[in-house]
Amino acid sequence: MKKIIQSAVITVLTLCSVSVLAMPISYDFDFAVGDGFVAGSITTDGTLGQLDLDNIADFSFIANDGFDDFSFCCIGSGSVFSGTGDTLGLLTATDDELFLDVSGDGIINWRRFEGEEIFDFYIDAQADQLSIVHESYDIFGQLVSAHTQVESLTGMTLFSAAQSETGEPDPDSESVAA
C-alpha cells in the first residue's frame, strides 16, 4: 500500500511540475518614422512584461525611408536581428499591446543586405528614437547615397496592438503613429 501511495504522490508531483507554455502573440504595427514608416508584425513567444531578444519568435515588416520600401522577414532569413547594450525592456508586452521603452540604453537592430545596399531599422534607447537607414554603395565600397528617417520618442510609447484570434487587429486596442 505504501508503494501505491508513493507512486500516486510521484505521479501527481510530476503532473503538477509540468510547466504550461505560453502561446505566441503576434502584434501588428504601423508606425510613422519621420517621412517614412514601419509596418508589419512582431511575434513573441507569449512572454508578458519586459521582453529581451530571445522573446522575439518571428517578425515580418516593411520599412520605408521616405523613398523606398524594404522588407524584413523571419528569424533565420537574410534579415539580421541583433541587439547592443541592455535590450531587456526595450519592448514590453501585454496581452494585447506592445510598447517601446526608450528610458534604458539598449539598441535593437534589424539589418538586411541586398547587393550594394544596406537597410536598417533601429529601436534606439541611447538616442531615444526609432531610425530607418538605407545606404547604397558602389562596387568599390564607397557610399553613394543614404536616406535616414528618425522619430524621437520619450519613455514608454504604444507601438502595436495584438491580433485577435481571427488574425485581425484587436478592436479594443489601436496602434499609435507618433
Task: Write the DSSP string, 28-72.
Answer: EEEEEETTEEEEEEEEE-S--EEE-GGGEEEEEEEEE-SS-EEEE
- What string of pLDDT tens digits covers the 178 residues of the chain? 555 555 544 444 334 333 346 799 999 999 999 999 999 999 999 999 999 999 999 999 999 999 999 999 988 777 888 999 888 889 999 999 999 998 888 999 999 998 999 999 999 998 999 999 999 999 899 999 999 999 999 888 888 877 644 444 444 444 443 3
What does the alpha-carbon distance between residue 57 and residue 1 come to, in Å, rounded to a whole number?
A: 48
Q: Under a CB-based contact definition with an 8 Å cutoff, are residues 159 and 98 in contact?
A: yes
What does the alpha-carbon distance between residue 127 and residue 134 come to, in Å, rounded to a whole number?
A: 18
- Percentage of residues of the chain with pLDDT beyond 90: 60
Q: Under a CB-based contact definition with an 8 Å cutoff, are residues 156 and 103 in contact?
A: yes
Rg (CA), the chain: 21
Helical residues (DSSP H) of the chain, grouped into ranges: 2-17
119-147 confidence digits (pLDDT tens): 999 999 989 999 999 999 998 999 999 99
**DSSP notation for 91-150:** EEE-SSEEEEETTSS-EEEEEEEETTEEEEEEEETTTTEEEEEEEEE-TTS-EEEEEEEE
What does the alpha-carbon distance between residue 45 and residue 123 come to, in Å, rounded to a whole number?
A: 19
What does the alpha-carbon distance between residue 154 and residue 164 come to, in Å, rounded to a whole number?
A: 28
β-sheet bridge partners, residue 163: 169
Would you state the cell numbers that stand for residue 165, as one nine-digit string?
484570434
- Find, among 51, 55, 72, the residue nearest to 63 by Cα: 72
| Coil/strand/helix, residue 12 | helix
